Every structure is written in C-alpha cells, then in structure tokens.
Amino acid sequence: MLAGTGPGVVAGAEPARETGVVVFAASSTTNAIMDIATMYEAQGRGHLEASFASSSTLAQQIARGAPADVYLSASEQWMDLLERKGAIEAASRFDLLGNRLALIVPSQSSIRAVDVRKGLDLAALLGDDGRLSIGDPAYVPAGTYGKKALQTLGLWDQVKDRLAPMKDVRAALVLVERGEVPLGLVYATDAAISRNVRVVGMFPIDSHPPIVYPVAAVTGGNRDAAASFLEFLRTPEARAVFSKYGFDVR
C-alpha cells in the first residue's frame, strides 16, 4: 500500500510508479497520512503510495522530476519554490494544516515544566555538554521555524553552537526518544505520538511565522488521481484523522 515510513515504507524514497495516487508528504504527517491512506483504499477510491521526508528533500525531488501526484509540505517556502518553477498546479493549491512548536525531553528526564520565554536559561537546561535536537535549520521547516522562534525570544545565541541538526523533524524526535540529547525542538504533533518523550514547554505562537502546511497537485502527475485525493483530504473523515494527531485543520 505505501512507500515511505513504517511497514513497507522507506523514508525519503521515490516510490515505484503504479496505478493510483503517489503522495510526497512532510515527515511530520507520516502517521496521519498512513491512516488516511488505509481509509482511502478501504473506500475503494484507489491505490495510494506515500513517500515521507523533509519538505525540502521532497521539493527537490519533485523539481528533478520525481513521479509524484500530490505534494504536502510543512512549509509555504518550499511550495512557493515549486510554484515558481511551474512544478505544481497553482490552482489546486490550498492550506490544509497548522501546527505548534514544542520543547521536549526524554520521558525519564528530571526537567519538568519550562516557561519558554525571553530570559530563559536554555543553556543551563542542556547541561555542560548536552545538545538541542532540531531539524536542520538550513532546510528542514521545523528547524527553520524553531530558529526563528529562538531568535525572537533572544535564545538563539545560547544554543546555536550546541545543536544536533537532523535531516527531518522525525529524526530530531528519535534522538530525544533515545535519550541521546536532553532537549528537542519538534512539532507538537510529533511529540504527541511518542511515549518516550514529554512536552515541557510550548513556544509562543507569535515567536515565529505561522506554521502552515500547503498541499497541491504536482505538474505532470496523474491529474485525476491527484484531484480525487485532494478532494478526499477535505472530507470530514480525513479532517478527523488530522485532528486526532493534533493538527490544526484549516
């Protein structure tokens, strides 16, 4: 059924082309899209394959001609890039989801509630040699939002040399799950799916640009399949799945 992450899923891989719809989706949507794919197929709407990775990685694959029908990004920036290149059908584009940024710790951490604000001694929470796990701010949307939030709050200089930059937000989550770092900065929805981390603080909404997940049909893809899936994403059933995982459904 799927090509992305989870059973029979390879993260970041370009799925084999088969009849049906091929969806390239931000790694933070993995669980929700897998559930939606099961529902989509169970209703006889067609076969669905999905590839999950950082929005930037997927955008670059699409720009190089990867065989995708639908692109779901965690960043307007990467969708805008593809639109400028004519790689997506602009008329099909709409904002699907929103999210929040969370500060997380391993579940066994002694760190409890943290007031994420200006003046926070974030370096002290990291300890002498701890690092902050984060999606690479250079290209991973969660990391880009996170860097902006830290800059707005005046905390960036404390941690800019103490980052553990990861290839996507799920990789940043895993590092905290394993207890390899004392703190992580991820989406609230990623924290919610793990029993091995705890949210100790939320970043103020006004500390970073709104986190928006646009979705669109890919130029040159299967238009009918893309239109069918995009329509399905607007249904109450699909919206309920996203809500279950903590997304703000637009």
Do 216 and 92 lie in a common domain? yes
Q: What is the pLDDT of residue 9?
A: 41
- The pair phi, psi for residue 111, each rounded to 5°, is -75, 130
Flag whether 14 is in a domain.
no
Question: pLDDT, tens digit, for every residue of 202-233?
Answer: 999 999 999 999 999 999 999 999 999 999 99
Give the rounded distance of the alpha carbon of 79 from its chain centre. 13
Flag whether 25 is in a domain.
yes
Q: What is the pLDDT of residue 36?
A: 98
Helix (H, G, I), strand (E, B) or coil at 174: helix
All residues at 6 or more sequence positions from 130 whose CB lies less than 8 Å from its CB, including other chains: 162, 181, 182, 183
Do 34 and 75 lie in a common domain? yes
Q: What is the pLDDT of residue 3?
A: 38
Do 109 and 141 lie in a common domain? yes
What are the angstrom distances between the C-alpha of 221 and each of 81, 118, 129, 178? 18, 46, 48, 39
Partner residues linked to 135 by β-bridges: 166
Do 219 and 142 lie in a common domain? no
* CB 16 within 8 Å of CB 51: no
* CB 32 within 8 Å of CB 69: no
Do 89 and 112 lie in a common domain? no
Do 154 and 185 lie in a common domain? yes
Give the number of other Cβ atoms within 10 Å of residue 204's Cβ.
15
| Residues in the chain where the model's pLDDT stays below 50 | 1-18
What's the distance, Cα to Cα, between the start and end of the chain in Å? 27
Q: What is the pLDDT of residue 19?
A: 59
Q: Which domain holds residue 46?
A: 21-98+212-249
Give the rounded distance of the alpha carbon of 118 from its chain centre. 26
Reported as type and span, the H/E element at residue 201 is strand 197-202
pTM above 0.85, yes or no: yes
Flag whether 12 is in a domain.
no
Say which DSSP state 2 is in. -
Domain count, the chain: 2
